[in-house]
Chains A and B, each alone.
Chain A
Amino acid sequence: MESLEEFLQFLTPETRLDLKVLAVEQVLGMTGKEEGRTLLHKELKVLQHLTKLTGDKVPGVARDACLALVNLSADEEGALAILSDEHIRSERLEFVGQMVELALDRESPLADPALMVLSNVTRPSQLTGKVLALMVRDDGDDTYDETKVNELLERLLGALTATKYNNVGASLHYLGPLLSNLSQLPIVRRYILNHEKKVIHRLIPFTEYQDSLVRRGGVVGCLRNCCFDLDEHSWLLGEDVDILPHLLLPLAGPEEFDDEDNSKLPVDLQWLPEDKKRENDPDIRRMLLEALEQLCATKVHREYMRDHNVYIILRELHKWEKDRQVLLACENLVDLLIRKEEEIGEDNLHSVEVPEDLVQKFEKMDKEFLEDS
Chain B
Amino acid sequence: MDNNKDITDVVQDKKLTPQELAAKLDAELDEFIGGLERKAYTEGWPEDRWEEEMEKHPFFMTKAPEPGEELSPLMEGIQQLKYDENENTPEDLAIAYKDDGNFNFKCKKYRRAIIAYTEGLKKKCKDDEINAQLYNNRSASNFFLENYRSSLNDCLAALKLKEDYPKALNRAAECLFHLNKFDECIEYCDKIIARNADDKAITVLRSKATTAKKVADRDKRRLQAAGKKEEMQGLKLLETVRNRNIKFKSKDSAALKLSDLEPQFPDAVRSRVHIDENGKLVWPVIFMYPEYKLTDFIQAFHEDEIFENMLCEVFAEHPEWDHEKKYVPVNLRIYFEDENARMHNIPTTWTLGKALTHSKYILQGGTPGFMILVSGSDAEKLYIKK
Contacts and interface: CB of A to CB of B under 8 A. Distances in A.
A272 B228 contact: no
Contacts of B224: 271, 273
Given A267-B214, A267-B215, A268-B214, A274 B222 contact: no
Contact of A270 (B203, B207, B221, B228): B221
Interface in B167-224: 203, 207, 214-215, 217-218, 221-222, 224
A267 B214 CA distance: 6
Contacts of A198: 203
B189 to A, nearest CB: 12
Which of B203, B214, B217, B221 gathers the greatest number of chain A CB atoms within 10 Å? B221
Contacts of A267: 214-215, 218
A262 B226 CA distance: 13
Contacts of A268: 214, 217-218
Interface residues of B, number: 11
A240 B200 CA distance: 13
Contacts of B207: 240
A192 to B, nearest CB: 16
B190 to A, nearest CB: 9
Contacts, number: 23
Interface string A18-33: 0000000000000000
Interface string A164-193: 000000000000000000000000000000
Q: Which of B203, B214, B217, B225 has the most CB of A within 10 A?
A: B225
Nearest to A259: B222
B95 to A, nearest CB: 40
A275 B196 CA distance: 40
Interface string A247-273: 000000000100000100001101111
A162 to B, nearest CB: 10
Q: Which of B203, B217, B218, B228 has the most CB of A within 10 A?
A: B218
A270 B215 CA distance: 10
Nearest to B206: A201
Contacts of B218: 267-268, 270-271
Give the dominant DSSP class at A's interface: loop
Contacts of A240: 207
Interface residues of A, number: 11
B225 A273 contact: yes
A271 B221 contact: yes
Contacts of B228: 274
B214 A271 contact: no
Contacts of B215: 267
A271 B217 CA distance: 10
A91 B224 CA distance: 61
Contacts of B203: 198
A262 B219 CA distance: 12
Interface in A250-307: 256, 262, 267-268, 270-274
A239 to B, nearest CB: 8
A262 B225 CA distance: 12
A212 to B, nearest CB: 21
A240 B203 CA distance: 11
B184 to A, nearest CB: 15
A268 B224 CA distance: 15
Interface in A207-256: 240, 256
A253 to B, nearest CB: 14
Contacts of A272: 221
A272 B228 CA distance: 12
A72 to B, nearest CB: 38
A272 B220 CA distance: 10
A337 B217 CA distance: 28
B45 to A, nearest CB: 66
Contacts of A274: 228
B195 to A, nearest CB: 14
A267 B216 CA distance: 10
Nearest to A269: B218
Nearest to A262: B222
Interface in B10-50: none
A271 B214 CA distance: 12
B200 to A, nearest CB: 11
Contacts of A256: 225
A355 B214 CA distance: 46
A240 B208 CA distance: 11
A262 B229 CA distance: 15
Interface in B264-278: none
Interface of B: 203, 207, 214-215, 217-218, 221-222, 224-225, 228
Given A256-B225, A271-B221, 14 more contacts: A262-B222, A267-B214, A267-B215, A268-B218, A270-B218, A270-B221, A270-B222, A271-B218, A271-B222, A271-B225, A272-B221, A273-B221, A273-B224, A274-B228
13 contacts: A198-B203, A256-B225, A267-B215, A268-B214, A268-B217, A270-B218, A270-B222, A271-B218, A271-B221, A271-B224, A272-B221, A273-B221, A273-B224
Closest 8 CB pairs of A and B: A271-B221, A271-B222, A267-B214, A271-B225, A270-B218, A267-B218, A268-B214, A267-B215
